[in-house]
Structure 1
Amino acid sequence: MPTTILLTGANGFLGSHIVRELLARRYNVRALVRPGSNRKTLPELPIEIVEGDLLNPADVLRAAKGCKAVIHAAALAQVNPARDPQVWAVNKTGTENVLAAVKQAGLKRLVYVGTANVFGFGTKEQPGTERSPYTGQTYGVDYMDSKVAATELVRQAAHRDDVAAIMVHPTFLLGPLDSKPTSGAMLLAIAKKQLPGYPAGGKNYVHVRDAAIATVNALTMGRLGESYILGNENLTYHEAFALMASVAGVTPPHFALPPTVARFYAQASQWLANIRGRVPAVNVPMAMIANDGHYFSSEKAVRELNLPQTPIREAVQEAYDWFSANGYLR
């Protein structure tokens, strides 16, 4: 009988690819999704959908019973506004409920999907690793802080409570099926010529399918209680925007945005939004993050989880083609 895997966040960007990878390996997939949530990327897939709330322990336990393992990919990846109690509820309390269900239902493995932002970033020459201490608290963003807290919960459960857990931490995901869109919004903005300039920083990029493959590999590979950064290429925003513009067939943003100007613009945007009672298009923490180079090494995940390293140009091309085919560029 095929093994049943519980997947939270199955209708998200990464979750949609994890579903497909699990099915390709002949796992049975049980997806815990919120009632009324968007399931555009899960059409007619042979999966069992269980409606429930991650914040309701009874719902999570009901979904977990009868499964062998769980991949916990659900999260609220919100940085604007930077502070929101709901982010802590979903990311930390939701993880607490998953851990409780793992213990009560006797699941044999938990793969927790975090973010590389819970580690300290480095330079291109010396990128951050799983050993680099967290430095993101300076930004004042609940998303990063809550994911640090959730990661620590899973780590403690693995080392103190004998929970068979592995933690994977994707960097910036690119590829098809980004229906919201999330990270693909950057590519869309480039394609529509909405970004006149580029900030001073940079980040690490990974094909979303590569991250999904390594996440599913973690069901049977890797060391329990360990974290793995799932990334690939470190690019400055100047380099990344030029690549995206090349794929989209447009002129890349040519104006270098100095850090002080970026921060001033964000402060002005926040001030105007507060007067109007709206969420600003850009906030100060977002500008601070964009001014830094969030560069990471995925050597450990490549070695121990067989993380593929698909060229980022292919990820950008596949994302662009999917957006084009689904009407996002009209």
Structure 2
Amino acid sequence: MKVLVTGGDGLLGSNLLRMLLKADHEVSVLLLDTGSLSPTIKDLNIEIIYGNILDLNSLDSAITGKEVVIHAAASTMVIPAKSSSIIEVNVKGTKNVIEASLKHKIKRFIHVGSANSFCPGTFKNPGTEINPYTGWKYGLDYMDSKKAAQDLVLNAVKTHKLPALVVNPTFMLGAYDAKPSSGAMIIALYNQKLPGYTGGSKTYISVKDASQAIVNAITLGRIGECYILGNHNLNYADAFKLMAEELKVTPPHFKLPDNIVKIYGRICSLICKATRKTPTITKELALLSCENHIYSGEKARRELNMPNTPLNIAIRESYEWFILNGYIS
């Protein structure tokens, strides 16, 4: 298949492109021209197309001749909590990609959403794809815009017969995290810069498993359906303990009281407003860290044949890649 991936130079994209090549697809990636190409994809046998999902002309050119579009480009900013640019990229950009895909009669459209577009659950009752959206309570344009973009895709399925489905990754760990993004947690733990842990929890997945599920979605999965990509549910204490075992460091032992974390987050947000300096945490992120954000990936394992790699392997692959590339000495 001739596949176009939008925004394929991050942690997920860098792994996804490799999985697509391994499956013998002809791969193109649409990227913003920032003057430098991510080292994680520069040596891959792919076509690099520079353009912007906010520009219909460049999208039209990029999608011409393609059979599959995997729309992964998005603004993932959570600091600041509110920004018109986040909404423009995630909502208007998605609308443009849908329009161009319909014009060129794409055979399969795979939208990379977020698990946060569904209400999370608990260890006993994990969140699923039928849960309503409740992320509005956090006041993050990122969450709201990803839900709005997902709604655009699902509506296009109903009204214009767009052959689309949505994948909703949880917290991904693995190699090729050049920014770094989620792997920043591993670097901080290795450098012993985590004073403690909060009382919350989240769902984790090897980025390779998420990537394989997306590749499988080219031929598997049902049009108009959403698939949460998540395999491992852990509270922060257990997650840091597992990471520390792989890194051979001491995990944080002190549980930070939720009320103190939330107060600290509010203070950091106020200081940010006054000084315009980027804080280490905000009131929104503090609240998120104290809550349970647990999801079930059963539907994706069943319908997309999503693998279930042990989390310690994903941690080890992330850690070893950071060492090899000089992020950790």
Matched letter for residue 264 of structure 1 = I
* TM-superposed deviation, 1:258: 1.3
CA drift of 1:161 comes to 1.0
Residue of structure 2 equivalent to 1:218: 217
- The separation in 1 between residues aligned to 2:274 and 2:224, in whole angstroms, is 47
Query: Once the two structures are superposed, what CA deviation does each residue of 1:131-155 show, in whole Å capped at 9, x if it has no partner?
Result: 0111111100011000000000000
Identify the residue that residue 201 of structure 1 maps to in structure 2. 200
Q: Name the residue aligned to 2:31.
A: 33
- The aligned amino acid for 2:268 is S
Match of 1:286 in 2: 285
1:255 aligned counterpart, secondary structure: coil
Matched, 1:43 2:42: yes
Q: What is the match of residue 117 of structure 1?
A: 116
Q: Give the partner amino acid of 1:186.
A: M
TM-score (norm 2): 0.98
Residue 219 to residue 241, structure 1, CA distance change in 2 (3 Å): same
Q: Deviations over 1:53-100 (max 9, x none)?
A: 111111111100000110001111111111111111111111001001
Quick one: distance in 1 between partners of 2:280 and 2:64? 42
Which residue number in structure 2 is paired with residue 235 of structure 1?
234
- After superposing the two structures, state which structure 1 stretch, 170-179 or 76-85, moved more: 76-85
User: By how many angstroms is 1:5 displaced?
Assistant: 0.5
**Of 68-77 and 35-44, the range deviating more from structure 2:** 35-44
- Shift of residue 210, structure 1, vs aligned partner: 0.4
> In structure 2, what is the Cα distance between the partners aligned to 1:38 and 1:312?
29
CA distance, structure 1, for counterparts of residue 296 and residue 97 of structure 2: 29
CA RMSD of aligned residues (A): 0.9
**Per-residue deviation at 1:326?**
0.7
Letter in 2 for 1:176: A
The Cα offsets for residues 200-256 of structure 1, whole Å up to 9 and x where unpaired, read as: 101000000100000011111000000000000000011111111111111111110
Q: Could you tell me how far apart the structure 2 residues matched to 1:264 and 1:103 are? A: 48
Partner of 2:22: 24
- Pair 1:329-2:320 in alignment: no
Match of 1:147? Answer: 146
Matches within 5 A, 1:31-180: 31-36=29-34, 38-180=37-179
Superposed displacement of residue 303, structure 1: 0.4
- Please give the secondary structure, in 1, of the residue aligned with 2:187: helix
Distance 2:176 2:48 in 1: 19
- Which one-letter code corresponds to 1:263 in the other structure? K
Aligned pair count?
328
Q: CA deviation at 1:277?
A: 2.2
Question: Is 1:57–1:97's contact at 8 Å kept on the other side of the alignment?
Answer: yes
SS at match of 1:39: coil
Conserved? CA contact 1:12–1:74, under 8 Å? no
Aligned to 1:12: 10
Residue identity matched to 1:194: K
Opposite residue 51 of structure 1, the aligned amino acid is Y
Q: Is the partner of 2:251 in helix, strand or coil?
A: coil
Shift of 1:276: 2.1
Structure 2, gaps ≥5 residues long: none
C-alpha distance in 2 between matches for 1:226 and 1:272: 42
Question: What's the counterpart of residue 307 of structure 1?
Answer: 306
1:127 counterpart SS class: coil
**Could you tell me the percent identity over the aligned residues?**
45
AA aligned to 2:175 is P
Q: Which runs of 5+ in 1 are unaligned?
A: none
* 1:281 positional shift: 1.4
